[in-house]
Amino acid sequence: MSKVPALDPKLKRILVAVAAVIGLALLIFGVSALSSTKKPTETVATTTQLSAEAQADILAQRALAAESANDTSTARSLAESALKLNAANQTAVAVVKRLDEANTGNTPATTKPATDTATSADMWSKPIKKMASVLPTALAGWTAGNIVSQKGDAQVTFTPDAEGADSGSAIRATFAVHDRGSSAKAATFVKSVDKKVYPGDGATVKFGTQSGYFGTDGARLAVAAFARGRYAFEVVVYSQEGIKPSTLRPLAAKLAAAWSAAQ
């Protein structure tokens, strides 16, 4: 039996290096294959459990908030996404229409600043002709943005003053009021929309004289919402980076108490 000749040391080193490279490539491929089969991480803020119409309504309301904050590109993107889910969503249709009118120079007359209406308690069971009239108009340490109003909905976004006490914890706060047509539907709005979109840290909280819901999306947003009569009232607070939205509960409650409906 003939003896197998020994490998040249230089050739041996090359073969070892090639084997190591092949092994590393196989390892990377295997890890990549495993990671690609994992489900994407789900956040507590997911809205995929809602119907297409409900998801469209949420996107449309966020489009209103962006429009109020003069973020027109975001407003259009959100409104168009809402229309893909529900082409009949009138809030999204109105946002796109206003943005188109602004681009063509046919912008409607600017809405005059609303005056916060202090009226009788039973007003909340009746239709309000000028929805913007119930929005807060001034907050100490905050500056109001543009009012966005249409039949059944009104919204305004406030930003904290740079030297204000709330600037370290919040970026902005959006006030929105929705006429749901009846007290039952207003209560259902808070339960089926606010509690589902902001399920984290859920609690019953007092806003002025009214009891309502506080919750978070677990990431950056916190909501304070309550129903009175046929209307649903919301304040959505966007936290500064690094601030847990759960810590915004006192701030959200203070802001929600600014609603005339909370008095």
Contact (Cβ atoms closer than 8 angstroms) between residue 132 and residue 111: yes
Closest CA to 185 of 44, 30, 57: 57
Say if CB 237 and CB 221 are below 8 A apart.
Answer: yes
**What residue spans in the chain does CATH classification 3.40.1000 cover?**
121-262
* Listed residue (141, 145, 140, 143) closest to 164, CA to CA: 141
| pLDDT tens-digit map of 76-121 | 888 888 888 887 787 888 888 888 777 765 544 333 334 344 445 5
Largest CA-CA distance found in the chain, in angstroms, rounded: 111
CA distance 171 to 259: 20
Confidence of residue 30 (pLDDT cuts 50, 70, 90): very low
Query: pLDDT higher for 107 or 135?
Result: 135
User: 35-68 pLDDT, tens per residue?
Assistant: 333 333 333 344 456 788 888 878 877 887 777 7
187 SS3 class: helix
CATH number of 121-262: 3.40.1000
Q: What is the pLDDT of residue 84?
A: 83
The highest-confidence range among 68-72, 154-158, 161-165, by mean pLDDT, is 154-158
Show the beta-strand stretches assigned E in 26-169.
Answer: 142-150, 153-160
Structure-token match 């109003």, residue found: 149
* Cβ neighbours for 74, distance < 8 A, ≥ 6 positions apart: 63, 66
Q: What percentage of residues in the chain have a pLDDT greater than 90? A: 51
Question: What pLDDT score does 246 carry?
Answer: 97
What residue type is 121 in one-letter code?
A
Strand arrangement of the beta sheet that strand 142-150 belongs to: 142-150, 153-160, 170-179, 231-239, 221-228, 210-216, 200-207
259 pLDDT exceeds 90? yes
Asked whether residue 142 carries a pLDDT value surpassing 50, the answer given is yes
Tens-digit pLDDT profile for residues 181-218 = 999 999 999 999 999 999 999 999 999 999 999 999 99
pLDDT at 92: 81
**pTM, to two decimals:** 0.62
CA 201 remoteness from chain centre: 16
